[in-house]
Chains A and B, each alone.
Chain A
């Protein structure tokens, strides 16, 4: 099925560093979501974005809804060991039933 392209696929960073990851699509979305999946768990919602250009923060996390509506970005500042996991973006068109399309995921490893 269709998936969004996320980059990078994986990354190793030192504790305290900032992290950036992005998600791109060939089609537009009206909603962008970012999830985090810890090992052995299901994905958990981090941030939801509903408007093009919107910039939303959740603690050390900041996400942006791209102005073209075809991309989104997630930044994590001052990373800590518990940031380890897989980060998924997801996009959806609104109006009736619209399937949520998930990205391929970015696996983050934090080196203490």
Chain B
């Protein structure tokens, strides 16, 4: 597609349930990032993928959070046993290689609400 696509755009779930958030990066972008943005806050880095591997998982807040990427394309962020503090907007970004590798292109995000 032309841009980074995330689904669903909104997700409401009950505390304790598992959720999966999906990201389709820009075609050809090898790098993929997940961020969390709480209400009125900045961007909290979660995880970075280069191809299918994740060399930097340092931002995942707990072992309830995991992510995978397949075929060097689609990525899924999974949150198990959701808690109310997980409520936030989850943003995905992708970037190309080379000189412009620092420029990240963001999706519109998934707004997660845990009741």
Contacts and interface: CB of A to CB of B under 8 A. Distances in A.
Interface of A: 1, 3, 31, 33, 35, 40-45, 48, 88, 90, 92, 94, 97-105, 107
Interface in B13-71: 33, 35, 40-45, 48, 50, 55-56, 58-59
B42 A102 contact: yes
Contact of A99 (B44, B45, B100, B109): B45
A97 B45 contact: no
Nearest to A102: B43
Closest 6 CB pairs of A and B: A42-B106, A102-B43, A104-B42, A92-B102, A31-B102, A105-B42
Nearest to A40: B108
A42 B44 contact: no
Contact of A48 (B41, B91, B102): B102
Interface residues of B, number: 26
A42 B45 contact: no
Contact of B106 (A44, A92, A103): A44
Contacts of A45: 103-105
A33 B103 contact: yes
A1 B56 CA distance: 13
A85 B105 CA distance: 17
A88 B56 CA distance: 22
A96 to B, nearest CB: 10
